[in-house]
Amino acid sequence: MSFLRCALAFAAIASVGCADRAPAAGDDRLVVFGPSLAQLMYHGGLGDRIVGLDRYSTPGGGFPRPADVGGYLDPSLDVVASLEPTSIHAVGYSRELASLASSLGIPLYTYSFDRLEDVFAAMDSIDSRYGTDLSGLREYTETVLDSIGALTGSDTPSLILVVWHDPGSGSMTIAGGKTFLGDMAARMGMELLAPPAGTYPSVSVEGVLELSPDHIVMFLPQSAGDSLRVTEEETAFWESFGYPRERVHCAFGRDLLVPGASIASTARRIASCIL
């Protein structure tokens, strides 16, 4: 499973919650599943406590990569147990991880990153649990979103945000309104267009054009190695269907679909396309 598809899987299965028991004293050996969660924890200064990280997450703050504990859907339970963790943290609820945590006598904390408010709630939870100061990151993120909204004014530009498109394919995956990206767009004074059903629906080219967006923004983290060629291919693709190429925008970067510490930079990237 690619990083991008895993990111969408995390978004689709995430749910709010935490374990019933309180964190044990000396909770200093954390195993973390989920790129968004890892971003926040490293940003909050918890990198020296993280002993295990899922294969799709990247360590921050110059820390070396800790032990690979597999993926959310296929965790390496034996590896996790061998690390002697004091807590496990995951995006969404996993029966396998819950069972393992119970057998080890440690808490499993679960977080949601579906909506923008979920991201802020995760920041608050980590601050409350570990005494970090992610409130500063939250304030900065909200300031960036509101500043872009002030620049947008009353124009309310509309956009389609494509999060997956195989080159030349007549179908693609787009972000729906009831996602963190939809919340970001609304906060920035923009309208994210999508069919009413589904958080990340698959739509055809014709379906996109029927929505008549002012802009089409393509998130293409999987193609960052050859951005000039990919940009030309994507703009030519949409132009072949009669959509103005100057209103097609390509954005590259691994963290575009990770609703963690990088939300502000993603917001600025979207704004640079639209405004």
pLDDT digits (tens, 9 = 90+) for 84-100: 999 999 999 999 999 99
- Answer whether 3-138 and 152-274 agree in fold: yes
Helices (H), 64-200: 77-82, 95-104, 116-130, 135-152, 180-187
Helices (H), the chain: 3-13, 35-43, 77-82, 95-104, 116-130, 135-152, 180-187, 205-211, 227-239, 263-274
Q: Kindly report, residue by residue over 172-222, the tens digit of the pLDDT.
A: 999 999 999 999 999 999 999 999 888 999 999 999 999 999 999 999 876
The CA distance from 7 to 255, in Å, is 10
Lowest mean pLDDT among 19-28, 229-238, 266-275: 19-28
- CATH for 3-138 is 3.40.50.1980
What is the chain's alpha carbon radius of gyration, rounded to the nearest angstrom?
Answer: 19
Superfamily of structural domain 152-274: Nitrogenase molybdenum iron protein domain (3.40.50.1980)
Q: Supply the pTM of this predicted model.
A: 0.87
- Which pair of structure tokens corresponds to residue 18? 């935490």
Would you state the pLDDT for residue 238?
A: 98
> Residues 233, 261: contact at Cβ < 8 Å?
no
- Which pair of structure tokens corresponds to residue 185? 């767009």
Give the start-to-end residue ranges of the domains of the chain. Answer: 3-138, 152-274
The CA distance from 244 to 221, in Å, is 23
Biggest CA pair distance of the chain: 62
Q: Which residues of 82-99 are buried (b: 16+ CB within 10 A; e: fewer)?
A: ebebbbbbbbbbbeebee
Looking only at the bridges linking them, the beta strands covering 17-18 and 87-91 are unpaired
Closest of 117, 123, 113 to residue 92, by C-alpha:
113
